Amino acid sequence: MALTQDQFRHFAEEGYVIVEGALTGGDLDPVIAGIEAFVDERARSLHEEGRITELHEGEPFERRLALVTRENTSIYDDIDIMNMRAEAVFRFLGNDRLLNLVQSLVGPEITCSPIQHLRAKLPDNVIHGGNGDEGAQTHGGSGGVDEPAARNEDLAERVRENVAPWHQDAQVHHEDADPVFILTVWLPLCDTDEENGCLQIIPRVHRQRMVYWSEGFGIGDGGLPEGDILSLPMKKGDVLLMHKLIPHRSIPNRSGSIRWSLDLRYQQTGLPTGRSFYPNFIVRSRRHPEFVLTDYNTWSRGWEEALKVTAQRPPRKNRPTGPTPIRMYG
């Protein structure tokens, strides 16, 4: 399913569009199963090592990792795509239904950018509650027992990290990709709303061809552009396509469950990604279908080797210029 003319027009005018029901359970459930398998394997290892006291096996996808994280944060710390490198996630990056939407804006020669993330947005109440409040240890412990206050501060820091500040995605790549149209694709793996921390955006800012910088990452409240702040509740299966100059943030998760989501980036093949030190790969090509990467082990090794060399993303040296024009592809 490609974007309709109305959907493309909305993207061009507003800087974003939500395609409701674009993905099915058949598209997303294997991704969730892959994440669950990763969490289960790591939880069992921690349990055998005596680093957690409960496996929480009967808990649903949206809650299990939160309960384990109350005792030990190491699984949560490795949950991102490049660290866990689950095959089901790799397969999804080339999902046909998803790429049909992307092709409407990027064209038929599509590369998956290295800027790709799995987000496990922890609930605020993971810091407190009846699981693991006494006698548990945190990530990095070597057999001793950490004080509950220290453990709670460790968890509090991770909850704070989950509340992304206002920012534009144009801020997170390097200078070589400033002129490149890089499409942000955000999708929830569970229903999202203002209770569990949905996204908020300021639409139409991409028309101004500006990046709003503050000290450090993101945009300070005093530096935000004028415009309405929109909350974007979404259902599992919905897909958000967003221009890299649209300011957005996530809000705190007040529910009792994790808000799981993927945020991915796609662009025209052959153009700079702004992350030359991390692996990109071709996911669709009309001209050269033989170049599409379908081998999971090659993708996984690429990330493993790249992270050995560049574990932390180097900072930008200067600020980006304006965006490139948008055109619609058939």
pLDDT of residue 239: 98
Secondary structure element (H or E) that encloses residue 291, with its range: none
8 A C-beta contact, residue 148 and residue 79: no
Smallest Cα–Cα separation from 28: which of 266, 273, 235, 254? Answer: 235
Judged against a pLDDT cut of 70, whether residue 195 lies above it is answered with yes
pTM of the model: 0.91
- pLDDT tens, residue by residue, 37-50: 999 999 999 999 99
Assigned CATH topology for domain 5-309: Jelly Rolls (2.60.120)
Q: Which two tokens stand for residue 171?
A: 């801020």
Q: Is 237 left (phi over 0), alpha (psi -120 to 50) or beta?
A: left
| Main-chain dihedrals φ then ψ at residue 303, nearest 5 degrees | -70, -40
- pLDDT tens, residue by residue, 72-115: 999 999 999 999 999 999 999 999 999 999 999 999 999 999 99
As a whole number of angstroms, the distance between CA 55 and CA 42 comes to 10
Q: How far is CA 148 from CA 66, 198, 233, 255, in A?
A: 17, 30, 35, 22
As a whole number of angstroms, the distance between CA 130 and CA 51 comes to 17
User: Is 133 or 14 the better-scoring residue by pLDDT?
Assistant: 14
- pLDDT tens, residue by residue, 219-232: 988 889 999 999 99
Give the DSSP letter of residue 176.
G
Please list the residues that pair with 18 across neighbouring strands.
240
Q: Which two tokens stand for residue 251?
A: 């809000």
Band (141; pLDDT cuts 50, 70, 90): very low
pLDDT of residue 254: 94
As a whole number of angstroms, the distance between CA 264 and CA 116 comes to 4
pLDDT of residue 163: 80
As a whole number of angstroms, the distance between CA 151 and CA 166 comes to 28
As a whole number of angstroms, the distance between CA 305 and CA 303 comes to 5
Burial of 154 (0-12, 13-18, 19+ CB in 10 A): middle
pLDDT of residue 131: 40
What is the residue extent of each domain of the chain?
Answer: 5-309
